[in-house]
Structure 1
Amino acid sequence: MRMVFRWFGKNNDSVTLEQIKQIPGVEGVVWALHDREAGEVWPLDEVMEVKKQAEEHGFHIDVVESINVHEDIKLGLPSRDHYIENYKQSIKNVAAAGAKVICYNFMPVFDWTRTDLFKEMEDGSTALFYENEKVEGMDPRELVNQTTSNSEYTMPGWEPERLKDLERLFDGYRGMTEEDLWNNLQYFLEEVLPVADQHDIQMAIHPDDPPWSVFGLPRIITSEANVDRFLSLSDSPAHGITLCSGSLGANPENDIAGLIRRYHDRIPFAHIRNVNVRENGDFIETSHRSRDGSVDIADIVKAYHENDFTGYVRPDHGRHIWGERPRPGYGLYDRALGIMHLWGLWDAYDLAEKGDETDVEK
């Protein structure tokens, strides 16, 4: 398990590289060029500048999250070939800087979706919250305005330039089925996987968040069966998944640890986080401790440990605690606590392997 930490870049993050350096066991930063729109080529000089900043603090930039897929590719429009060629060049440029994994997603229009970015919890902390009923009765434009109102930082997946013509985007998807989206994804993969393979890059798709249709838009990376189908699309070594325990875990029917045991060699990158799922389908981010949510984090780490997992791992969304007011979901303190919990589990499984009978799940 190789621990990394998402960093949104200089002047675009409340967390500094100096602070990340003080979290035990973190070896790299997960990064992106957040001021580049989907479909643009990532310039090599800008990529190398991030590499320089990271290396000054002893970090690598092995994991990119995310090179966003242009909407025309998801829609299967004739213009997709132009944007796919740009994507290929971006793959080459990040590979030239030493990147090993590109996390991406194929969610139409919206990336991650939440109805409250700072929902207060019983202990006074706040966290990202999804309310089913509210989404069902909400105008999508209201959600865009709410999510992008924090103008201090960029909001990946919610770029105002891309969402300014929301009605046109929704018109494009009108009548599109999940099968259509699968076909468009396969077309994209057939084009980019050979380039990724040639440059020793692993493409790792992120599951849909949440793992069901939002505002009637099709979504396909939502379940164990769909993960099975996705991984069967290609046997290229460049074809894999970013296994996010929180995204898939929002549906309690998904067996995350089971997926890890089945596909550990197809997971170059993992997000580990917990969500507390309520009976009505609402969910809220919570601490990484298993008993605080609905996701068995202890068994997830055990599944990785059993298979000598050497891929990259980062703590995903954390709560906002101790008065911190960071980018939603991405404060310093709770993610640092999450890392130490993950390392504690890993170390305990190491001890158990050596004959110590300590029950790490108590």
Structure 2
Amino acid sequence: MLNFELLATDADSHARRGRLTLNHGVVQTPIFMPVGTYGTVKGVMPRSLHDMNAQIILGNTFHLWMRPGLDVIKQFGGLHAFEQWNKPILTDSGGFQVWSLGQMRKITEEGVKFASPVNGDKLFLTPEVSMQIQTVLNSDIVMQFDECTPYLSVDPKSKGQITTEAQARSSMQLSLRWAERCRDEFARLSNPNALFGIVQGGMFEHLRDESLAGLEKLDFPGIAVGGLSVGEPKEDMLRILRHIGPKLPAHKPHYLMGVGTPEDLITGVQMGIDMFDCVMPTRNARNGTLFTRYGDLKIRNARHRSDPRPIDPSCTCYACAGSSGVSWNDGGREGFSRAYLHHLDRCGEMLGPMLTTVHNLHYYLTLMQEVRDALDAQRLGSFVQAFHTTRAQGA
């Protein structure tokens, strides 16, 4: 169901080079996983994902449960055939989406009661139900159902105060109890895939340690770090990542959930993270913010109105290099200009966000390929230094 091989390590950091074998294929790590909430990565054809060497994508348990519903997906034997993706898929548990409902949901020891945001039906999501949904989805990696510990308290009496140690402890311990129930239900269902546990504990290092210790006793085949990038200052996110990343079990894959910028990914790799996901490259693309080797670029800015250059002259994605796959730096001239992309954005043409999304995802996936190459060559330190220097140049 899962086999993780450690192929190389970095002498100067906690970075690892690995190979993860799942039921629907092999994933080379470190890896970025594009987010496909409703069974599709927004604005990207599945063929384009293959062309940019996406190895694994995400699906959203909560939203797919709402629409189209399990009865439909079950007819196809799972999410792979339904969305025509023959490589691995990871599905989240629904915990983050339930958390995002705020005061519209009620959390108990048994699970979470809430009204469907689609039709208002009263629903009850438990660890067992989450495992049952993800078994129907037949995702290669299943995430435990957890409570995402907020940065700001969900207690209406707190008036927006930062979550206290007691609140974070209670939330973390509930997630641990739910983790055990997920493990037991996953086994009862004879799910042939892999189940990951999630480290919680908010912004408190000792609670993160307690959560990890509890998950290690449950012996999940993979470990994720959750509850980061939920509104906390960047320095707090990095503090927790630097604390818990190096402590994750060396013989298992490590997944950092919902993070983040290219710089965050590089820091995560250095802290021993193998797998990343984030909506940032796709969401930012739709809003006109593009990631490049030379820094971030806002295509809506007037300075791009007549600029003949591509988004990134060194990029070989379809948006930058066209069908030739040859970057401008190497003499290619088939890509789309910044002027054209600026025009599409100003006119609201759907081709604009499609092209920018292809670029952003290509950049993230290429960055991870370059990290893997650097680890293979034992030169991660010099690569990271060059990465930061080049990103600071400005696009």
TM superposition score category, shorter chain reference: 0.5 to 0.7
- Higher-Rg structure is 2
Pair 1:8 & 2:69 matched:
no
Q: Once superposed, what is the RMSD of the aligned Cα atoms?
A: 4.7
Partner of 1:74: 107
Mapping of 1:1-362 within 5 angstroms? Answer: 1=29, 2-9=31-38, 13-24=42-53, 26-33=54-61, 34-37=63-66, 42-43=70-71, 45=74, 48-54=77-83, 56-61=84-89, 63-68=90-95, 74-76=107-109, 83-94=126-137, 97-102=138-143, 104-107=145-148, 177-197=167-187, 199=191, 200-205=193-198, 220-234=201-215, 235-238=217-220, 241-243=223-225, 246=229, 250=234, 251=236, 254-265=239-250, 267-271=253-257, 273-274=259-260, 287-288=261-262, 290=263, 295=264, 297-304=265-272, 312-314=275-277, 317-318=280-281, 319-320=284-285, 321=289, 322=299, 331-352=357-378, 358=382, 360-362=384-386
Higher helix share: 2
Partner of 2:309: none
Q: Structure 2 length as normaliser, TM-score?
A: 0.51
Task: Sort the Cα spacing of 1:104 and 1:263 in 2 relative to 1 into closer, same or farther, 3 A.
Answer: same
- Preserved contact between residue 225 and residue 256 of structure 2 (Cα < 8 Å): yes
Residue 31 of structure 1 and its aligned partner are, at CA, apart by 0.8
Q: Structure 1 length as normaliser, TM-score?
A: 0.55
Task: Sort the Cα spacing of 1:28 and 1:240 in 2 relative to 1 into closer, same or farther, 3 A.
Answer: closer
Q: State the identity as a percent.
A: 7
Q: How many pairs are equivalent?
A: 261
Q: Give the Cα separation in 2 of the matches to 1:227 and 1:65.
A: 20
Q: Which runs of 5+ in 2 are unaligned?
A: 1-28, 100-104, 114-123, 290-298, 300-341, 387-395
Task: Sort the Cα spacing of 1:240 and 1:58 in 2 relative to 1 into closer, same or farther, 3 A.
Answer: closer
Residue 332 of structure 1 and its aligned partner are, at CA, apart by 4.0
Partner of 1:123: none
- Preserved contact between residue 146 and residue 175 of structure 2 (Cα < 8 Å): no
Q: Which runs of 5+ in 1 are unaligned?
A: 114-134, 141-165, 208-219, 275-286
Structure 2 counterpart of 1:351, which letter? A
Task: Sort the Cα spacing of 1:317 and 1:241 in 2 relative to 1 into closer, same or farther, 3 A.
Answer: farther
Task: Sort the Cα spacing of 1:193 and 1:48 in 2 relative to 1 into closer, same or farther, 3 A.
Answer: same
Q: Deviations over 1:229-281 (max 9, x none)?
A: 2112241222754236755772156152453222054554334744xxxxxxx
Task: Sort the Cα spacing of 1:180 and 1:257 in 2 relative to 1 into closer, same or farther, 3 A.
Answer: closer
Residue 64 of structure 1 and its aligned partner are, at CA, apart by 0.5
